[in-house]
């Protein structure tokens, strides 16, 4: 009998309880009136008189031990129950919560694609300030003093915030990212082969076709023997990678103060395929970029010898490219953050 008591003692010692059901099993086995300990007490009468007292004491010890364990187990189970009640019950039959991850803004998508295309042919990405001086935005780029682009109507000028007596400021919000080209040429020896994506500002009334803030990617390539052919090859490559197969491209003579010769680049309308529609004003062509050979004077303005180095530059509006690629007909959609618009670019 003493062996049996010892075994049960050990069993209780190693008992593990994790649920009310297990607690109940423990109670049934050791504590209840039909349990093993009661049974042993009943067997006490068969124990020889001489040993009965000692065995009885052992049995009482076992009973108390079982009772103690039971109490601490119940406390543990109560705590577990309380903790699990504070968590809402899970209904596995409910449909799952839709996975509402954000979408990339169409302008971001297109900017990244443009960067990818040019990076693969050896251009790196350069950055520069949006608040710029007249020199970097206009002067160094050969804009004459009386050029209409400097006019208050096109350019946002920035007033000095200090109490300086000299309140006239030549600071402005850049009207193109060409300022980064000047800064690059000033501090980097050719070869220079960079693109500069960024925000630009022009004083326009906001409408479906114009905005006072938009995005450009400009590019510049300065090295020995860079010619117009390189400009054409680069932009042909860009159009081929960016737009639908079969898209036509044409260079149209144009004028920019900082390039000579200059050309505007048109592609066949992506919306009507060149047949004529509202977007291309029924001409079948849409303009996507300005470009040209960097004027030797601009190269010299940045401290580079124009006799030794030549180069080309180009600039395009990201909104325009996005409009053609995704048929967005109102510029305001890009800044209104209407999720019904933005959601359409999910997964692109
Ligand atoms: N800076 C011009 C613009 O803002 C674009 C351009 C860049 C044209 C480089 C020619 C060469 O429209």
26 φψ region: left (φ > 0), alpha (ψ -120 to 50), beta (else): alpha
Residue 100 has a pLDDT of 76
Q: Which of 315, 318, 321 to mutate to test the pocket of ligand 1 (most atoms within 8 A of CB)?
A: 315
- When pLDDT is cut at 50, 70 and 90, the band that residue 161 belongs to is low
Averaged pLDDT, 69-75: 92
Please provide residue 293's backbone torsions phi and psi, each rounded to the nearest 5 degrees.
-80, 130
List all residues 6 or more positions away from 59 whose beta carbon is below 8 Å from its beta carbon. Answer: 5, 37, 40, 41, 44
pLDDT tens readout for residues 232-280: 999 999 999 999 899 999 999 999 999 999 999 999 998 888 888 888 8
CA distance 325 to 109: 11
| Best CA proximity match to 29, nearest among 56, 78, 83, 69 | 69
Averaged pLDDT, 135-163: 83
309 has pLDDT over 60: yes
| Best CA proximity match to 280, nearest among 324, 311, 240 | 324
- The answer to whether the CB of 176 is under 6 A from ligand 1 is yes
CA dihedral 204, 136, 216, 236 (to 10 degrees): 130
CA distance 184 to 178: 10
99 has pLDDT over 80: no
Residue 104 has a pLDDT of 92
- When pLDDT is cut at 50, 70 and 90, the band that residue 166 belongs to is low
Residue 145 has a pLDDT of 86
- When pLDDT is cut at 50, 70 and 90, the band that residue 162 belongs to is low
14 has pLDDT over 70: yes
Residue 65 has a pLDDT of 94
Å from CA of 136 to ligand 1 middle: 14
- When pLDDT is cut at 50, 70 and 90, the band that residue 287 belongs to is very high
| Best CA proximity match to 55, nearest among 39, 44, 66 | 44
In the block, residue with structure tokens 């470009």: 291
Residue 172 has a pLDDT of 92
The answer to whether the beta carbons of residues 320 and 290 sit under 8 Å apart is no
DSSP 264: E
**Average pLDDT for the chain:** 91
Averaged pLDDT, 215-239: 97
Residue 223 has a pLDDT of 97
- The answer to whether the CB of 266 is under 6 A from ligand 1 is no
List all residues 6 or more positions away from 189 whose beta carbon is below 8 Å from its beta carbon. Answer: 304
88 has pLDDT over 80: no
- The answer to whether the CB of 313 is under 6 A from ligand 1 is yes
219 has pLDDT over 70: yes
- The answer to whether the CB of 314 is under 6 A from ligand 1 is yes
45 has pLDDT over 80: yes
- When pLDDT is cut at 50, 70 and 90, the band that residue 168 belongs to is low
CA dihedral 311, 316, 322, 324 (to 10 degrees): -90
State how beta strands 310-317 and 285-294 pair. antiparallel
Residue 71 has a pLDDT of 93
Averaged pLDDT, 187-193: 96
The answer to whether the beta carbons of residues 259 and 345 sit under 8 Å apart is no
346 is in an annotated binding site: no
Å from CA of 169 to ligand 1 middle: 24
State how beta strands 259-268 and 285-294 pair. antiparallel
- The answer to whether the CB of 290 is under 6 A from ligand 1 is yes
- The answer to whether the CB of 256 is under 6 A from ligand 1 is yes
Nearest CA to ligand 1 atom 5: 315
- The answer to whether the CB of 259 is under 6 A from ligand 1 is yes
The answer to whether the beta carbons of residues 324 and 291 sit under 8 Å apart is no
Residue 89 has a pLDDT of 77
- When pLDDT is cut at 50, 70 and 90, the band that residue 183 belongs to is very high
- When pLDDT is cut at 50, 70 and 90, the band that residue 164 belongs to is low
Averaged pLDDT, 83-103: 82
Averaged pLDDT, 123-148: 93
Å from CA of 178 to ligand 1 middle: 7
DSSP-derived secondary structure for 20-85: HHHHHHHIIIIISTTSHHHHHHHHGGGS-HHHHHHHHHHHHHHHHHHHHHHHHHHHHHHHHHHHHH
DSSP 302: T
């Amino acid at each position: 009998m003493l062996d049996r008591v010892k075994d049960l003692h050990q069993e209780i010692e190693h008992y593990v309880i994790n649920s009310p059901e297990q607690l109940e099993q423990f109670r049934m086995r050791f504590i209840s009136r039909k349990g093993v300990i009661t049974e042993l007490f009943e067997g006490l009468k068969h124990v020889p008189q001489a040993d009965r007292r000692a065995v009885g004491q052992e049995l009482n010890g076992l009973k108390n031990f079982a009772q103690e364990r039971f109490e601490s187990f119940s406390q543990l189970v109560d705590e577990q129950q309380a903790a699990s009640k504070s968590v809402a019950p899970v209904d596995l039959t409910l449909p799952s919560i839709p996975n509402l991850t954000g979408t990339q803004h169409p302008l971001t998508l297109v900017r990244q694609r443009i960067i990818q295309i040019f990076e693969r042919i050896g251009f790196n990405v350069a950055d520069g300030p949006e608040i710029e001086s007249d020199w970097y935005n206009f002067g160094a780029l050969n804009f004459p003093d009386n050029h209409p682009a400097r006019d208050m109507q096109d350019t946002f000028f920035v007033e000095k915030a200090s109490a300086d007596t000299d309140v006239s400021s030549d600071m402005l919000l850049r009207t193109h990212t060409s300022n980064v080209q000047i800064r690059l040429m000033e501090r980097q020896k050719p070869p220079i082969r960079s693109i500069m994506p960024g925000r630009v500002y022009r004083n326009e009334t906001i409408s479906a076709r114009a905005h006072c803030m938009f995005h450009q990617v400009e590019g510049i390539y300065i090295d020995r023997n860079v010619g117009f052919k390189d400009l054409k090859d680069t932009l042909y490559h860009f159009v081929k990678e960016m737009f639908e197969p079969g898209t036509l491209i044409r260079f149209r003579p144009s004028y920019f103060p900082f390039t000579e010769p200059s050309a505007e680049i048109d592609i066949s309308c992506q919306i009507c395929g060149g047949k004529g529609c509202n977007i291309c004003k029924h001409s079948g062509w849409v303009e996507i970029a300005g470009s040209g050979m960097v004027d030797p004077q601009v190269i010299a303005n940045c401290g580079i010898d124009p006799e030794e180095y030549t180069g080309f530059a180009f600039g395009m509006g990201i909104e325009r490219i996005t409009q053609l690629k995704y048929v967005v007909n109102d510029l305001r959609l890009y800044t209104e953050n209407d999720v019904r618009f933005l959601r359409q670019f999910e997964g692109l």
